[in-house]
Structure 1
Amino acid sequence: MSRLTFVQWHKHGVPGDRLLKREAIGAGLVRAFSATLAVFLLMGVVVAITNQPVYHFSLGVLFVVLASALIGGGSAGAVARIRGWQHGGVTGFIYGAIFAMISAGLGLPVFDPVILTVAMALLGSLGGIIGVNLPALRRRSRGRREIYRFIDMER
């Protein structure tokens, strides 16, 4: 338990230190929407291949959306490498708000938009804590950061 990091404190004013890292939140949102889209496409293939009169995917859709918030939060925490709970929570909240707005705009029934968005924010925070603490995810995000640094040096 002593190796887990929930909050990492460091000096403010250090180069690259910002309250929220937009690239981390963006990476989390991309990962969350990608996971959701992949599973929804698989559900569409199941509907196209099978020949059943009625499909009950509501519980499956809820599970996929909540799991995607967890995955997106983990990705945001891994990219940010600091304050994973904050980056993951913001990622989950934005993802939940966007999902609720799209569902309401399409006229789809949503469980309860406020509860769903709060649940996604909490799962995103949990994913962010996991993402900050997983060494494999940190190693991968470190490589991305080196690529971004290399691209900035060429400008």
Structure 2
Amino acid sequence: MKGFSFVFWNRRLGDNSRKINLSVVCLGLVWAIGATMAACLILGLWVMFSSSGVFYFSWLLKGVSLLGTFIGGLTAGRRAQNLGWLHGALVGLTYGLVFALLSLSNGLGAFSSLDLAGRLGAYMLLGMAAGVVGINLPGSVSGRRLPRIYRQSY
């Protein structure tokens, strides 16, 4: 596992190397929600243009929401330049909370405490894994060196 980084500490980032970048978390959340909405739009078009009358999409919608979490965590990890696992976990946790609140506000039923904890845990773990993958992708932002003109000399 040489060259694989769970935490990307780098001195060239200075004091910001150990801080959470909330704009990256928001960007990951936007990507997660956007990917989920795009997949739901595709599923809706499939229902509209197919000839079958009954569709059971509960398992497919769960998979789509997990895919959205993975894409959001991957984006956050790729853009974070450090602490990809933490940024991905925050994206997953925020994404899970947003959809739990949307479910409650739309009257789709309240979750039990155990069900909510399980969902949030799954989203957070998947986002964390995606953040680790995102920060270690070849050609990601974190793997590039800054051009000489932008490097600080001490």
TM-score, normalised on structure 2?
0.82
Deviations 1:6-39 (A, max 9, x none): 112345x925445210121011011101110100
Q: Aligned partners of 2:43, 2:108: CA distance in 1, in Å?
A: 17
Secondary structure of 2:139's counterpart equals helix
Q: Aligned partners of 1:25, 1:138: CA distance in 2, in Å?
A: 15
Equivalent position to 2:120, from 117, 142, 148 = 117
Unaligned runs of 5+ in 2: none
Q: Counterparts of 1:98-117 in structure 2 under 5 Å?
A: 98-108=98-108, 112-117=115-120
Over alpha carbons, which structure has the higher Rg? 2
Partner of 1:61: 61
Equivalent position to 2:137, from 134, 139, 142 = 134
User: Is the Cα contact below 8 Å between 2:31 and 2:75 reproduced in 1?
Assistant: yes
User: Quick one: structure 1 residues 91 and 65, their matched pair in 2 at CA, closer, same or farther if it must change by over 3 Å?
Assistant: same
Identity of aligned residues (%): 35
TM-score, normalised on structure 1?
0.82
Q: Counterparts of 1:28-39 in structure 2 under 5 Å?
A: 28-39=28-39
User: Is the Cα contact below 8 Å between 1:36 and 1:64 reproduced in 2?
Assistant: yes
User: Is the Cα contact below 8 Å between 2:85 and 2:129 reproduced in 1?
Assistant: yes
Partner of 1:90: 90
User: Quick one: structure 1 residues 72 and 110, their matched pair in 2 at CA, closer, same or farther if it must change by over 3 Å?
Assistant: farther
**TM-superposed deviation, 1:82:** 0.5
Paired residues in the alignment total 144
Deviations 1:33-71 (A, max 9, x none): 111010000011011111322110000000110111111
Deviations 1:89-128 (A, max 9, x none): 0010000110111122212368732211110000000000
RMSD: 2.7
Partner of 1:72: 72
